[in-house]
Amino acid sequence: MDFFQHQDKAKNRTFLLIVFYILGLLGLTAVMVAAILALFAFVGTEPEPDLILLCIGGVLALVIGGSLFKTAALSAGGGCAVAEALGGRQICSSTTNPGERQLYNIVEEMSLAAGVPIPALYIMDNEKSINAFAAGFSPNAAVIGVNRGTIDLLTRDELQGVIAHEYAHILNGDMRMNMRLIGILFGLQLLAIVGYFVLRSVRFLAVGRQNKGSAAIIMAMLAGGTILMIVGYIGVFFSAIIRAAISRQREYLADASAVQFTRNPDGIAGALKKIGSPNIGSNIANAHAAETSHLFFGDVCGLFSLGGLLATHPDLTTRIRRIDPNFDGRFPKLSEIKPVKHNVIKTNVIKSKTSHFKNLQPTTGSPTIGSKQSVIENIGGLDMANVLTAGVLLGALPKPITESASNPLTAQAVFFAMLLDQEDAIRNRQLNQIQSIGSAFLRSETLRLYPQVRAMPEHEKVPLAQHISASLREMTKAQYRQFSRILDLLIEADQTMDLFEYTIKAVLHRDLDIHFGQAKQFRVRHTALSSVRRPAAAVLSYLAYSGHTDPQDAQKAFAAASEELGLSEPMLRLSETTTRQFDQSLRTLSETCPALKKRIFAAFMTCVWHDGKITPKEAGLIRAIAAMLAVPIPMLA
């Protein structure tokens, strides 16, 4: 199943979630009516139909309102809000802690290999068990959190297996679905929460002087709180069933994807075996663990799963045997687990001597593509050879660039250095703009890094931009606005925006504008080609002219791609294919549904591949298009 099919599957699961939610509402309503009738029968009076309808309406309003409120709160806070609610502490890109540094390196290599921004990383320091989760609404706004025990007790291969499992959830569309699940199910559990607090508040009223009026109020609160608790736990039960129905099979798929990504079944199997070790486990003590249980790598509250009926995760032994058929069911003792010594060399994955890496070699040099189909098939996937290549690229960065990239202030200077013009007059004007809007320090840092950045091959600068963007997330909103203003001025200094400048800007802003609240996540607005035929023709025209000097060859490439897409729009004139129009067209196309986006991207690849080759310029175009369409394209190397 490819990336776009996974996205459609996730959309279908959303429909399934809505169906389950409606069934949960009906169940709550039925139990509420039964509870009210039983109460009237107990006191010996006839039930009032209006009162019953009022109670039902109140319950539905509370449940639906709670779901909408929680969903809105999650949409505003994203994965970071979930991680912080679970007690997570964000890891800075400049961390020097050996365990945290190793985790960051693994995530950085995988992100670069998969073509997605580096997720924000959180550690739950108070959780000594082994567990991890991914949260967020899109791959470019993802968060990965791990327990302290995950870092302290797992080897690099095992940690890489766990992180690959979380990347599978990110790339398969599970993460977005899981976030929606938190919001929607909160409403079903809200009655139990309200009932709990009503019963707790009774004891405060009971303290002090008693009279008939207060006694009546206390009795009413006891009755109301008990009913809410009983009815509410029906909602809790339905919530658990929904989590189990939607989440459990996705864990098998993520385990299999992790093995495929790393080509090392021992890694993730070893992590699962350590979870089964006595006194380690995967439980989470945080109060929000239950409502987020379906996000985690391992089961967080297995004792309350009614023998596995309501478990969000498959049985641990079954998971391991699917990866390691020879597993004998014996979990290691705590005394058998040796303390992990973290190797913080950035490219230590390349130096691994284990057999599963011996046939994998990182690819260096200019970007090449095996075929159009291979690129499309690898979208949304991870490949260990690409991870190795990412490690090589990151490890080969000059030391001054590496040091500057880990600090949000000096990381800005690396970006500015990439955009300095080769002409002295223009470059001096750009440096003056950096100083007048930013600072003299930023100007001197940019000038210091310029020779190192200029010496880099152009195809390595886009991965460098992705690498740096993680540090830039640590800026304040005011700092980011200043950075964006300088960036725009540097690009406009020569009165043109070339393809490299546009690619850098697209890769950067598609991620950071959303992170800093200056742009919203793109939503699906177009499901039919007829509604986006002009933007599609504009991008195809731009691609055709960029890859061919002969107008007739460009026309043939455009025609071949249009025929494949079923597009009848004419090709634009060369004078009409501006970078501005290219950008606006891509923004429209980013709002297409997964199935249509796949067809459009395949047509783009047909246009680029029409002459049987791809130039570095075309590779940059593909990267820019992928960034704007939120298509996680792997490294083109």
If we measure between CA atoms, which residue out of 501, 512, 494, 401 comes closest to residue 450?
A: 401
At residue 563's C-alpha, the angle toward residues 560 and 567, to 5°, is 125
- CA 371 to centroid of chain Cα atoms: 28
Specify whether the CB–CB gap between 109 and 387 falls below 8 A.
Answer: yes
DSSP secondary structure letter of residue 331: P
In angstroms, rounded to a whole number, what is the distance separating the alpha carbons of residues 265 and 262? 8
Q: Is the dihedral of CA 492, 497, 500, 503 positive or negative?
A: positive
Distance CA 70, CA 396 (A): 45
Examine the residue annotation and report whether 84 is marked as an active-site residue of this protein. Answer: no
Q: Which amino acid is at 475?
A: M
Contact 369, 636 (CB under 8 A): yes
With H, G, I as helix, E, B as strand and everything else as coil, classify residue 443.
Answer: helix
Q: Does residue 281 come out as left (phi exceeding 0), alpha (psi in the -120 to 50 range) or beta? A: left
Rounded Cα–Cα distance for residues 407 and 611 (Å):
43
- The catalytic position among 166, 251, 445, 501 is 166
Question: Residue for token digits 């924000």?
Answer: 120
Residue pair 489/437 in contact (Cβ under 8 Å)? The answer is: yes
User: What are the C-alpha distances in Å from 217 to residues 55, 196, 205, 622?
Assistant: 19, 17, 9, 68
* Exposure b/e, 193-228, CB count within 10 A at least 16 = b: bbbeebbeebeeeeeeeeeeeeeeebeebeebbebb
The CA–CA distances, whole Å, from 615 to 347, 363, 550, 552, 559 equal 28, 17, 15, 19, 20
Q: Give the burial string for 403-440 (b: 16+ CB within 10 Å, else e).
A: ebbbbbbbbbbbbbbbbbeeeeeebeebbebbbeebee
Residue type, 420: L
Q: How many CB atoms lie within 10 A of CB 165?
A: 26
Residues taking part in catalysis: 166
